[in-house]
Amino acid sequence: MKVSVIMGSISDKKVVEKAVNILEDFGIEVDFRVISAHRTPFEAMEYARNAEQKGIELIVAAAGKAAHLAGVIAGVTPLPVIGLPIKSSTMDGLDSLLSVVQMPKGVPVATVAIDGGENAGLLAVQILSVKYPELRKKFKEYKTQLKEEVEGMNKELKG
For position 59, which CATH number holds? Answer: 3.40.50.1970
pLDDT (tens digit per residue) in 55-72: 999 999 999 998 999 999
What pLDDT, on a 0 to 100 scale, did the predictor assign at position 89?
77
The closest of 18, 76, 84, 10 to 45, measured between CA atoms, is: 76
40 & 114 share domain: yes
Structural contact between residues 8 and 67, judged by C-beta atoms closer than 8 angstroms: yes
Q: Cβ contacts of residue 54 below 8 Å, gap of 6+?
A: 2, 31
67 & 124 share domain: yes
109 & 157 share domain: no
97 & 138 share domain: no
Range of the structural domain that residue 100 is part of:
2-128
> Whole-prediction pTM value?
0.95
What pLDDT, on a 0 to 100 scale, did the predictor assign at position 93?
93
Find the range with the poorest average confidence among 5-14, 27-36, 55-64, 150-159.
150-159
What pLDDT, on a 0 to 100 scale, did the predictor assign at position 156?
92
When pLDDT is averaged across residues 39-55 and rounded to a whole number, the result is 97
- Does pLDDT of 158 surpass 90? no
Tally the domains of the chain.
2
Q: How far apart are CA 46 and CA 87, in angstroms?
A: 27
CB count in 10 Å sphere of residue 153:
10
What pLDDT, on a 0 to 100 scale, did the predictor assign at position 117?
98
92 & 139 share domain: no
103 & 138 share domain: no
3-state secondary structure at position 102: coil
Structural contact between residues 32 and 23, judged by C-beta atoms closer than 8 angstroms: no
pLDDT (tens digit per residue) in 79-88: 999 999 999 8
pLDDT (tens digit per residue) in 106-144: 999 999 999 999 999 999 999 999 999 999 999 999 999
Structural contact between residues 58 and 80, judged by C-beta atoms closer than 8 angstroms: yes
117 & 149 share domain: no
What pLDDT, on a 0 to 100 scale, did the predictor assign at position 87?
96
Cite the beta strand spans of the chain per DSSP E: 2-7, 29-34, 58-64, 81-86, 110-111
What pLDDT, on a 0 to 100 scale, did the predictor assign at position 125?
98
122 & 138 share domain: no
Q: How far apart are CA 100 and CA 110, in angstroms?
A: 9
122 & 60 share domain: yes
Residue 60's beta-bridge partner residues? 5, 82
93 & 151 share domain: no
94 & 157 share domain: no
74 & 138 share domain: no
Report the chain's terminal Cα–Cα distance, integer Å.
Answer: 44
